[in-house]
Amino acid sequence: MRLALAQINPLVGDLRGNSAQLLEHSQRAAAAGADLVITPELSLWGYPPRDLLLRPSLLQEQGRVLEALAAELPPELGLLLGLVDPIAGRELPGLHNAVALVQRGSWRMVARKRLLPSYDVFDERRYFQPGDQACLLEWPGAGRVWRLGLTICEDLWVEERVQGHRLAGADPIAELASQRPDLLLNLSASPFAQGKPELRLQLAAAAAARLGCPVVYVNQVGGNDELVFDGGSFVIDPQARVLRQLPCAQVALDLWEPAPRETAPATPASTAPPPLPLPLLPLPAPMEQLFRVLVLGVHDYARKCGFQQVVLGLSGGIDSALVAVIAAAALGPGQVQAMLMPSPYSSAGSRLDAIALADRLGLPHQTVAIESLMGAFNHSLEPVLGGAPQGLTAENLQSRIRGTLLMAVANQQGRLLLSTGNKSELAVGYCTLYGDMNGGLSVIGDLYKTTVFRLCHWLDSDAAADCRQALGLPGSGELIGAVIRTKPPSAELRPDQLDTDSLPDYDQLDPLLRSYIEELRSPEELIAEGHVDGELARRVYRLLRTAEFKRRQAAPLLKVSGRAFGGGWRMPIAAGPLT
């Protein structure tokens, strides 16, 4: 028996387009001698379809698309695809998250998802009911009948000792153990977060050890709104040996032929699972994973929303430099318009740094000075304010002038505006509504400033050469540049301004923010541990809370952490300052 792992990049809601992808991969797999093709969770719909699942017309379309796909599928080939299974009656929610087996001329449901995540960015209980039994598919091949355990994404995430928690409910792995499957198949749509590829391997290794059989894990790839799916599909055996590893952040198809089962019977589910050895096949370095995912996220957000070109403000600082590099890799340098918008407070060095970066990347760039516009705003506001704008008002006006110019270029030229703020700034409100927050996509809005520095140092190192070259960037020499990487961060909105005039040093700030955002800890907890100054802890927390109204109006951002601002962050705007 030959299995094909089809790591596809679906467009949410495009059932016909996704079916065409599935058919193409099936034809390629059949030509290579595959018997059964495995695809990601909800591969016919794209994940997450959200409220598109509530549209009766799309549910009806699913049946027509499946019939057409079955009619064209190569003979003697099976295709496991993710779809929805309507539930008869008026009970809500009225769907199962399911898997169908499609063969030439027919299709049938063979599995339903047991565990439905409704945490972070997931909201599956809004749409689905859980399945109520273990799913085993018998499949003939190589002169025998193979027993294939079927699970869908979260059904694999049952190892509390690995992940620290698990959803209440069934343990699909334990229930399958008594049925002694020859293989466990997991159809997934698992979005990227830093550290998650390693965690998936550990979870699959634990399941393989418990069942005494290999685990075939097939993940979706591609960006869908704020989520980026990194692919990285694999096969792992009970000894935690990775037998197949598909690439990160790329569409891929790979074949694998399992050997007949030679392992001892699966460990009874009632006993403690065995310890986890480390996988033998290394994953890409964390910084490379992160960079490739950000590039894919920008590429797919633009492509799937109908944009071929982007525009961004280039200041000479590290944040906009990183976004420019990501955009150039995602779309090609000729599709990225860089705008330099110096004010009287912009240093000559920053302007030169911005131009040098654009030249290294081959970006078209233009300069529009804003001093005259600042004067016009001051003149218009003097009668209202009793004088020219001062302090923070004057600084924010500069940012809003730039934001307006960028939006004008985006509108006139049909470009997507990329905002360049980082997570640290967004967390504490060190950003301007209708100014530097303008944009259709926040590229690094889930990267703390210290992570921005680490990623830029990696990009300029020899370790990044192969990745850079693979993504169409210069393979040698600096991209960001040592001058940009080492200069003190500054918004340059007043003479000699530094970020540290208003904020703690980022090496102090970011660990506090991680504790408050990722771990949901309180200032009192951190203070009680004695590792942080009480005044600083309370000040940072207060900044985080009072900036909530800004984040509610921010552009969508690419989620790359365990907890990002956006769909998985549901804090109230009006609440006590230390709640």
Instruction: Confirm whether 431 is a catalytic residue.
Output: no
Given the residues 124, 135, 153, 492, the one annotated as active site? 153
Closest alpha carbon to 269 in 174, 178, 136 = 174
- Range 143-148, long-range pairs (CB < 8 A, 24+ positions): 144/260, 146/1, 146/182, 146/183, 146/258, 147/179, 147/180, 147/181, 147/182, 147/183, 148/181, 148/182, 148/183, 148/184, 148/185
Spatial contact of 199 and 220, defined as CB atoms under 8 Å apart: no
CA 96 distance to own-chain centroid: 25
Query: Hey, what are 497's tokens?
Result: 């301004």
Q: β-pairing, 221-224 with 106-112?
A: unpaired
User: Buried b / exposed e across 548-570, counting CB within 10 Å, b at 16+?
Assistant: bebbeebbbbbbbbbbbbbbbee
Query: Hey, what are 82's tokens?
Result: 């993710």
Query: What is d(CA 48, CA 223) in angstroms, rounded to the nearest whole number?
Result: 11
Instruction: Confirm whether 153 is a catalytic residue.
Output: yes
Instruction: Confirm whether 41 is a catalytic residue.
Output: yes
Given the residues 113, 449, 550, 559, the one annotated as active site? 113
Question: What's the angle, vertex CA 129, arms to CA 126 and CA 134, rounded to 5?
Answer: 145
Query: Hey, what are 441's tokens?
Result: 């996509």
Question: What's the angle, vertex CA 264, arms to CA 260 and CA 265, rounded to 5?
Answer: 100
Question: What's the angle, vertex CA 293, arms to CA 292 and CA 294, rounded to 5?
Answer: 95
Given the residues 41, 226, 288, 425, the one annotated as active site? 41
Alpha-carbon separation of residue 472 from 239, 326, 333 (angstroms): 38, 11, 9
The SS3 of residue 100 is: strand
The SS3 of residue 442 is: strand
**Annotated active-site positions, please?**
41, 113, 153
